[in-house]
Amino acid sequence: MQHKDDTADSKQTDSRPLYWVTAAAGRRAVIALHVVAIAAVLIEFLFPFPEDTHAVERAHALDFTGSYSVYGFVSCVILVLLGRILRQLVMRGENYYRDSDR
Amino acid sequence: MTADFPLQLNFQWAPELPPALIFFASAALLMLLRGEATALVRKAVLLATPVIGAINLLTLETGSFWVWSVLDFDLVQLRVDRLSMLFGLLFHLGALLGIIYALRVRELTQHVAALVYAGSALGAVFAGDLISLFFYWEGMAVSSALLVWAGRTGESNAAGLRYLILHLLSGLLLLAGAIILYQNTGDISFDYIGTDGLAGWLLLLAFGIKCGFPFFHSWITDAYPQSTPTGTVFLSMFTTKVAIYSLARGFPGTELLIPIGTVMALFPIFYAVIENDLRRVLGYSMINQIGFMVVGVGIGTELALNGAVAHAFNEVLFKGLLFMSMGAVLFRVRHVLGSDLGGLYRSMPFTTIFCVVGAASISAFPLFNGFVSKSMIMSALIEQGHTIAWLGLLFASAGVFHHAGIKIPYFAFFGHDSKIRVREAPGNMLLAMGLAAVLCIFVGSYPAVLYGLLPWQSAYEPYTYAHVMVQVQLLLFSALAFAWLKLTNVYPPELRSVNLDADWLYRRLLPGAGKIFLPAATFMQGLFSGAAGYTVSRVRQWFIEPRTVLAAGTQSGTAVLLVGVLLAGYLLFYYVSS
């Protein structure tokens, strides 16, 4: 049992967006993300990892400049595409189990 | 394992109690403090429990104490070494955060269940034998099921029952394994077990169910979203971590755990992408993170084992923080459906910030705690030449950022404005989230503090130029992929739905099979009982009823004669054959 004060409160508060979370700020954030991501690859290109770098960063499978960028990007695209296929296979109505569980 | 735990308090008068005892005593005391008048005292008892417990913990000396002789068994209630002490410290910390978060809950049952649950988890990690472990194992199962049932809905009742059945099954396997081990070796101490015999396999399966091995994982995503906002926070902290502790104690270096853990790290991320209930997304994320730990235990080197337990430590903090932030949303909005949320940063700015800290931590951003522990397991993998598993876990690392790092904060607090306007989370919830967030950043920024507490000796430096750069690249380009997929509407929208998972096997397939087989079984039973009845009646007719050949007019003299003939025949046969 929850206290009366603890229950959900639908009281209207200020609906104005904070200055740093607007549609324009969102667009600027996406542009900034591109800039920073490309900069991260350029830094590796200009300052390659030292030869004595720990094995985890120099694994044979990913031993080329920007390899982790490619892997991160491709992984997420594959993840989402396979997720869409999985949804086709496993998605059911939200009451699918409800009747049998009661 | 190196010698003493580095954090020690030296009090002459310290009673050195088993940590579980303090929590159980506190739970018993709490049950006496009913009514409004004692509300403040209850809160004081709750808050004092993990604090007093932690002080007691830090006075413990290395060794085995509180040995109870029951029948022929020595039941060790307090086995103190660096592994049990690390988990002991973690559980006290987790209990303190959970108690602060749940301080405003007025339902006494939830508090008592939470204390018994935390106490049982502590009992399990300090148990020096398998019989004691079994009792604490079952204590965890029952008390945590009470937390699921505290949801007080039809779904939570059913999910709690399924949860309890699976966990009791795990306990049964543990007991069976312990009995067989005792028969084989005459020893029930809980140390390295391995998979050489049946006992080892049964115990591995028992621990695996609690860990959420594939096909036994559904209790996490089924039950955790059904508990109360506060109950789920406790649930996320103890059970799976006790299982990781048990694996690290009993099965270090069991190579089978590497593929199992890799599968655990991989498959949930696909489900998490399409799941709408954000607490269930965190459930999938939990299986994913446990997968990393299971791999670490499977590798079995000192670096890997340290990585596994360090990641368990960090996961309690960042997953607890994420569950707390979603619990705060559930508390105010009454649901956590991604499809119906969005724009909550306006109403709950502090919760938003804490959620983002949790998201950055689980995604292993530099300066956050996930960064300093996950990479230990990855390094150990590549050092031991497990390149395919390493590539799999790297894929899972990118994936976890996608669903836990971006999806959770984005769909709850940003994204489209759902027009939901609520108050910020209560002060105690904010305090608990704030403490967890500070700890996430502190451990991520000063990893030497955590590394100094780890059980095994292995040098590891997370903040190298290369490690920071590759992690930043991986995460930035994952974020870039999310942005592109979202802008091009390729990213699957949040939909109110149910996604079939392994629990379908026992929620639909088995009951469905029962419905098909029950009529068939009834028919077969009828057929057999009919045939049997006919046969019995014929036999009765033949032997007993008066008009049949053998029964009709039979006198006792005839029967004696018949027996005599049979005996004579038997004797004749005996002499001929010998």
Asked whether the predicted pLDDT for residue B198 surpasses 80, the reply is yes
Instruction: Pick the residue from chain B with its C-alpha nearest to A51.
Output: B466
The pLDDT tens digits for B202-260 are: 999 999 999 999 999 999 999 999 999 999 999 999 999 999 999 999 999 999 999 99
Probe site for chain B from A68, A91, A94 (most B CB atoms < 10 A): A68
Quote the minimal CA–CA distance from B98 to chain A in Å.
Answer: 17
The pLDDT tens digits for B515-524 are: 777 777 777 7
| Helix, coil or strand: residue B277 | strand
The pLDDT tens digits for B351-360 are: 999 999 999 9
Instruction: Kindly state the helix (H) or strand (E) to which residue B553 belongs, with its residue range.
Output: none
| Helix, coil or strand: residue B385 | coil
**Averaged pLDDT for residues B130-148:** 95
The pLDDT tens digits for B372-391 are: 999 999 999 988 889 899 99
Task: Determine the Cα–Cα distance for residues B410 and B338; give it in Å rounded to an integer.
Answer: 9
Tokens of B219: 């209790």
Task: Give the pLDDT confidence score for residue A4 in this predicted structure.
Answer: 40
Asked whether the predicted pLDDT for residue A15 surpasses 90, the reply is no
What contacts B244, CB < 8 A, 6 or more positions away? B211, B290, B293, B294, B297, B308, B309, B312
Q: Which residues of A touch B417 (CB under 8 A)?
A: 17
Q: How far is CA B286 from CA A102, B61, B140, B158, B458, in A?
A: 27, 33, 18, 22, 26
Quote the minimal CA–CA distance from B16 to chain A in Å.
Answer: 37
Q: Is residue B332 a contact partner of residue B400, using CB atoms and an 8 Å limit?
A: no
Task: Give the pLDDT confidence score for residue B437 in this predicted structure.
Answer: 97
Q: Do residue B398 and residue A69 have CB atoms under 8 angstroms apart?
A: no
**Predicted confidence band at B506 (pLDDT cuts at 50, 70, 90)?**
confident
Residues 68-97 of A with CB under 8 A from B: 68-73, 75-84, 86-87, 89-97
Instruction: Give the max Cα distance, chain B.
Output: 107
Q: How many other C-beta atoms are found inside a 10 Å radius of the C-beta of residue B228?
A: 24
**Averaged pLDDT for residues B49-62:** 93
Tokens of B281: 């997304």
Q: How far is CA B227 from CA A93, B281, B320, B505, in A?
A: 22, 15, 14, 22
User: Which residue has better confidence, B430 or B562?
Assistant: B430
Q: Is residue A45 a contact partner of residue B451, using CB atoms and an 8 Å limit?
A: no
Could you say which of A37, A91, A93 has the minimum Cβ distance to residue B477? A37
Q: Do residue B478 and residue A72 have CB atoms under 8 angstroms apart?
A: yes
User: Which residue has better confidence, B315 or B540?
Assistant: B315
**Predicted confidence band at B466 (pLDDT cuts at 50, 70, 90)?**
confident
Q: How many other C-beta atoms are found inside a 10 Å radius of the C-beta of residue A77?
A: 16
Half-sphere exposure of B243 (CA within 13 A, CB side): 28
Residue B230: name the closest of B120, B346, B114, B142 by CA: B114
Residue B264: name the closest of B387, B377, B396, B398 by CA: B396
Task: Give the pLDDT confidence score for residue A9 in this predicted structure.
Answer: 45
Residue carrying the six token digits 């591995």 = B204
Quote the minimal CA–CA distance from A24 to chain B in Å.
Answer: 13
Of all residues in chain B, the percent with pLDDT exceeding 90 is: 64
Q: Where are the alpha helices (DSSP H) in B446-509?
A: 447-451, 465-487, 504
User: Which residue has better confidence, B202 or B564?
Assistant: B202
Task: Determine the Cα–Cα distance for residues B540 and B534; give it in Å rounded to an integer.
Answer: 10
Q: Is residue B403 a contact partner of residue B332, using CB atoms and an 8 Å limit?
A: no
**Averaged pLDDT for residues B44-54:** 95
What are residue B63's DSSP bridge partners?
Answer: B80
Please state, rounded to an integer, the average pLDDT across all residues of chain B: 89
Q: Do residue A6 and residue B274 have CB atoms under 8 angstroms apart?
A: no
Residue carrying the six token digits 């004579």 = B568
Probe site for chain A from B474, B475, B509 (most A CB atoms < 10 A): B474
Task: Give the pLDDT confidence score for residue A12 in this predicted structure.
Answer: 44
**Predicted confidence band at A24 (pLDDT cuts at 50, 70, 90)?**
confident
Amino acid at B301: T
**Averaged pLDDT for residues B285-312:** 96
Residue carrying the six token digits 């397939």 = B509
Q: Which residues of B touch A62 (CB under 8 A)?
A: 394
Task: Give the pLDDT confidence score for residue A10 in this predicted structure.
Answer: 43
Could you say which of B269, B394, B426 has the minimum Cβ distance to residue A6? B426
**Averaged pLDDT for residues B151-174:** 93
What contacts A44, CB < 8 A, 6 or more positions away? A65, A66, B469, B473
Quote the minimal CA–CA distance from A68 to chain B in Å.
Answer: 5
Q: Which residues of B touch A10 (CB under 8 A)?
A: 421-422
Residue A56: name the closest of B381, B243, B502 by CA: B381
Task: Give the pLDDT confidence score for residue B5 in this predicted structure.
Answer: 79
Instruction: Kindly state the helix (H) or strand (E) to which residue B567 belongs, with its residue range.
Output: helix B556-577
Asked whether the predicted pLDDT for residue B338 surpasses 90, the reply is no
Could you say which of A34, A83, A89 has the minimum Cβ distance to residue B492? A83
Q: Is residue B376 a contact partner of residue B307, using CB atoms and an 8 Å limit?
A: yes
**Averaged pLDDT for residues B284-300:** 96
Tokens of B296: 């670490």
Q: Does A58 reach chain B within 8 Å, measured CB to CB?
A: yes
Q: What is the DSSP string of B209-269?
A: HHHT-TTS-HHHHHHGGGS-HHHHHHHHHHHHHHHHHHHHHH-TT-TTHHHHHHHHHHHHH
**Predicted confidence band at B525 (pLDDT cuts at 50, 70, 90)?**
confident
What contacts B559, CB < 8 A, 6 or more positions away? none
Quote the minimal CA–CA distance from B532 to chain A in Å.
Answer: 37
DSSP, res B62: S
Tokens of B434: 């704030």
Q: Do residue B390 and residue A92 have CB atoms under 8 angstroms apart?
A: no
| Helix, coil or strand: residue A20 | coil
| Helix, coil or strand: residue B271 | helix
Probe site for chain A from B107, B273, B288, B490 (most A CB atoms < 10 A): B273
**Averaged pLDDT for residues B405-415:** 88
Task: Give the pLDDT confidence score for residue A6 in this predicted structure.
Answer: 43
Quote the minimal CA–CA distance from B382 to chain A in Å.
Answer: 6
Q: Which residues of B touch A71 (CB under 8 A)?
A: 394-395, 398, 474
Residue carrying the six token digits 């390295």 = B192
Probe site for chain A from B480, B485, B515 (most A CB atoms < 10 A): B480
Q: Does A45 reach chain B within 8 Å, measured CB to CB?
A: no
**Averaged pLDDT for residues B189-196:** 92
Of all residues in chain B, the percent with pLDDT exceeding 70 is: 94
Task: Give the pLDDT confidence score for residue B307 in this predicted structure.
Answer: 96
Q: Do residue A8 and residue B331 have CB atoms under 8 angstroms apart?
A: yes
Q: Which residues of A touch B398 (CB under 8 A)?
A: 71-72, 75-76, 79
The pLDDT tens digits for A38-92 are: 999 999 889 887 766 665 555 666 777 888 999 999 999 999 999 999 999 998 9
**What stretches of B339-394 adopt beta strand conformation (E)?**
none
Q: Do residue A56 and residue B106 have CB atoms under 8 angstroms apart?
A: no
Task: Determine the Cα–Cα distance for residues B349 and B414; give it in Å rounded to an integer.
Answer: 11
